[in-house]
Amino acid sequence: MKGKILVVALALISALPMQAQDKFVSIKYGDMDQWVTRRIHESAIIGGKTKQLYEVGPTQEVDGNTAYVNMGGSPWGTSNVMAKVVGIVKTNTSVYPERRGSGYCARLETHIESVKVLGMVNITVLASGSMFLGDIKEPITSTKSGEEALNSGIRFTGRPKAVRFDYKVKMSGELNRIRQTGFSKKEVVQGKDRAIAVCFLQKRTEDANGNIIAKRVGTMAVSFDQTQDWQNGATFEIMYGDITHNSKYDASLMGLGVGNYHARNSHGESKLIQEVGWAAADEQPTHMILQFTSSFGGAFIGSPGNTIWLDNVGLVYCCLLYTSPSPRD
């Protein structure tokens, strides 16, 4: 009897009309309302100033020149780092908390960072503001080790339909970008700067030599090249499988290997993530890369003044809801 009742109940449910409704799931600390404030004491030889670095995580203050490790289970890393080059401690801050309404948002901006010590060091670099899921290993020991210090992406097995966030953009107004690495002359890079947002879902494996091999499961990438006021709840689709024939495909933002992302393997070694192909559209990912950057083109390239603000970052999932017939039906 119970079996018959169950069959009847399932039949009745299956006969009900279904309605798709989006479900928004915030990424931990994605509301940008909590920040760790670090106080780093730069070396006396470059002025001995105490600088503040900000990290997305539980609200607290940390005083001292200690390497930062993500706190409170925060999945977020930033381009705010402590460097120690030839014994000199220097900081870079290009991501800031900023008041928005009753809470906070994140401000990412591109700027020039310099350190000059007569006879020892003379470094001037362009630094863009960046936030990403992952972490960074401090201290940075040279301008060449920055990307290798990044651990890009977190473990993730979901299949969201989109990325959603609030944003505001202010462009520098420059017609071209510059490239300034710290040890070479400033170069002009053709093309207007852009702020970018990227989400790559990957299925990663590791070979016998510790190399990280990945297939791309899902892709979302968008750029912003116009000054805009706050756009709330902006939603950007994640496309699955091989998207090279999709009309929305932009190889400069979405191509395999774009970004030269590094991650740490199972031995704790930094490795370039080798994206070797497109996964099947129904594949389940193992990792998610999500990054926001105030400039486009790679390390040390951009336009000082380019700025993007971010708030309420999360993922959108599709839910099927059963709905009762309207009383009018």
144 band by pLDDT with thresholds 50, 70 and 90? low
pLDDT digits (tens, 9 = 90+) for 123-139: 789 999 999 999 999 99
150 band by pLDDT with thresholds 50, 70 and 90? very high
Is the full-model pTM beyond 0.85?
A: yes
Where residue 233 falls (left for φ over 0; alpha for ψ -120 to 50; beta otherwise) is left
CB 50 within 8 A of CB 42: yes
CB 221 within 8 A of CB 162: no
Residues in contact with 129: Cβ distance below 8 Å, sequence separation at least 6, in sequence order: 78, 79, 94, 95, 107, 108, 109, 110, 293, 294, 307, 308
The predicted pLDDT at position 185 comes to 85
Element at 106 (helix H, strand E): strand 103-109
Residue 320 has pLDDT above 80, yes or no: no
The amino acid at residue 248 is K
Residue 262 has pLDDT above 50, yes or no: yes
The predicted pLDDT at position 21 comes to 85
C-alpha distances (whole Å) from 129 to each of 22, 132, 289 are 31, 10, 17
Residues in contact with 69: Cβ distance below 8 Å, sequence separation at least 6, in sequence order: 135
HSE, side-chain direction, 13 A CA sphere, residue 101: 8
Fold type of domain 17-322? Jelly Rolls (2.60.120)
pLDDT digits (tens, 9 = 90+) for 234-246: 999 999 999 999 9
Residue 75 has pLDDT above 80, yes or no: yes
CA distance 262 to 78: 15
Torsion on CA atoms 49, 306, 167, 78, rounded to nearest 10: -40
pLDDT digits (tens, 9 = 90+) for 167-217: 999 999 999 999 998 777 899 999 999 999 999 999 999 999 999 999 999
